[in-house]
Structure 1
Amino acid sequence: MPDRHAGRRRVLRLGVAWLSLATIAAAVEPGPDEVEVIARTLGFLIAAPGGTIDIGLVYPTGSEAGRTTAERIAATLGPRFVVDDLTLRPRPLTVEEAGRVAPPVLLLTQAALPQAGILAASLAGKRVLTASTDPGSVERQQVVLAVRAHPRIEIFVSHAAARMAGLQFSTAFRMFVQER
């Protein structure tokens, strides 16, 4: 005798799986709140950038998931993301493009983190602030800055990575961050 509820159970299982994946993605993908924290952090740099600047959303070459994530972040931010007197233009870039173009800010997707060390070496001394949402990437000195906006704002800074990038933060900023 055929199970007349099998189709419904299959749809329910797929729905639960999809919701689980959406929750996981939301936990690791940066959004407008994290980008706002990064933008405000730029103001604490000695020789801070101003006006309209690009923010590279970095993903690895050949990673469809990474590219999709970068494009989704860009779409969420819109063509211009304004924080006080700073306007950020989101721009999805591969790791290789980010190394060549070197915009003032690079936000690495989770997919790009394994290549963060190579990227940091190619950007040494170019005053590019690299950021992620993974505090472990700061501890590994892969990026200059890691931010979390939820449930509360947390900012982690790697002074070794900042030195390598040629960046220096104001003394006042050090009171607000967790240094690694």
Structure 2
Amino acid sequence: MQAEDLARSISLLVLDVDGVMTDGGLYYDDEGRVTKRFNVQDGLGIKLAQAAGITVAVITGLTSGAVEARIRSLGIQDYHAGFLHKSECIDSIRRKHNLEWSQVAYLGDDWVDFGPLKLVGLPMAVANAQPEVKALARYVTTANGGHGAVREAIRFLLAEQGLLDSMLESWPEQA
């Protein structure tokens, strides 16, 4: 089955953080605190997915105040930090929302994403993902992680579900 066909049934999009929502860089200030860079267009894409009825979940292996603040600002309810075994966490989220694996998409970039990519209905990778991750993906963005890849993946889902045009037409009302 083609990625376009798989995208039509997606109700849950699960995102990795480092290398997907961010560029993967760790920025240290003079006090040794880590900050991260997020893309505003990715954030609006997440809001569009939510408005279209697609649940967005975020799972990351690391804990970070910067990530927690970004997640809160986006209104993401399913946020799980400190999970290295992401498949179990996604299974719990999937069951909570009463979904089949075929209704779940996952966007990843590195080896820690192998488990979820092998389970979900639509495995996706960012453009700068590791080659082995891209090999598992049914959809690969043209944008790198942290540089619009999340937005691109969401546009793809919305377009294949026939929602993008109507959202564009009604955009001023949704703003």
- Decide which structure has the larger Cα Rg and report it: 1
Q: Which has the higher contact order (CA 8 A, sep 6+)?
A: 2
TM-score relative to the length of structure 2:
0.41
| Larger strand fraction of residues | 1
Query: If the length of structure 1 is used for normalisation, what is the TM-score?
Result: 0.40
